[in-house]
C-alpha cells in the first residue's frame, strides 16, 4: 500500500511504501546557509515524526547547494544534527535552486514504523 501525506497538485510532502518514507525536498528560511540548513532540518524532523520515523532511521540524504563554497557551513550544521552512529548515505551537489533566495535543499529517505 502507498500512503501519501500532504498531497498537492505537483507533489506530496511525504510518501510511505513498504516501511520506507520518502520526503519531498525541503528548503528553509534565513539569510545564511547555516540558518537555512537549520530550518530545512527542522522541517525534515517534523515530517519524519508525522510519518512515524525519526532522524535515527534516515537511510539517505541528498543535499543541493546553490554554491559549493557553502559546503563547510552547511556541514557544520548537518554534522551537529545527525544522531551519532546514524549517518545516512549522502550525496551533496551544486544546483540552481527554485529561487535565488534558496541556498540549500535537503531530500531525505528513511525507514518508518
Structure confidence by residue, pLDDT tens digits, 17-73: 999 999 999 999 999 999 999 999 999 999 999 999 999 999 999 999 999 999 999
Q: What is residue 42's three-state secondary structure?
A: helix
Domains of the chain, with CATH numbers? 2-111 (3.30.1330.40)
User: Cell numbers of 78, please?
Assistant: 548537518
Query: What pTM was computed for the model?
Result: 0.96
In the chain, count of helices (H) and strands (E)? 2, 7
113: confidence class by pLDDT, cuts 50, 70, 90: confident
Q: How far apart are CA 99 and CA 27, in angstroms?
A: 10
Amino acid at each position: 500500500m502507498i500512503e501519501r501525506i500532504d498531497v498537492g497538485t505537483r507533489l506530496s510532502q511525504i510518501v510511505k511504501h513498504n516501511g520506507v518514507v520518502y520526503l519531498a525536498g525541503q528548503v528553509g528560511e534565513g539569510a545564511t546557509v547555516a540558518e537555512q540548513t537549520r530550518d530545512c532540518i527542522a522541517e525534515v524532523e517534523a515530517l519524519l515524526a508525522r510519518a512515524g520515523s525519526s532522524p535515527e532511521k534516515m537511510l539517505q540524504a541528498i543535499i543541493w547547494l546553490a554554491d559549493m563554497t557553502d559546503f563547510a557551513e552547511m556541514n557544520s550544521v548537518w554534522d551537529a544534527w545527525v544522531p551519532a552512529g546514524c549517518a545516512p548515505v549522502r550525496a551533496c551537489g551544486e544546483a540552481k535552486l527554485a529561487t535565488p533566495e534558496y541556498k540549500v535543499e535537503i531530500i531525505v529517505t528513511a525507514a518508518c514504523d
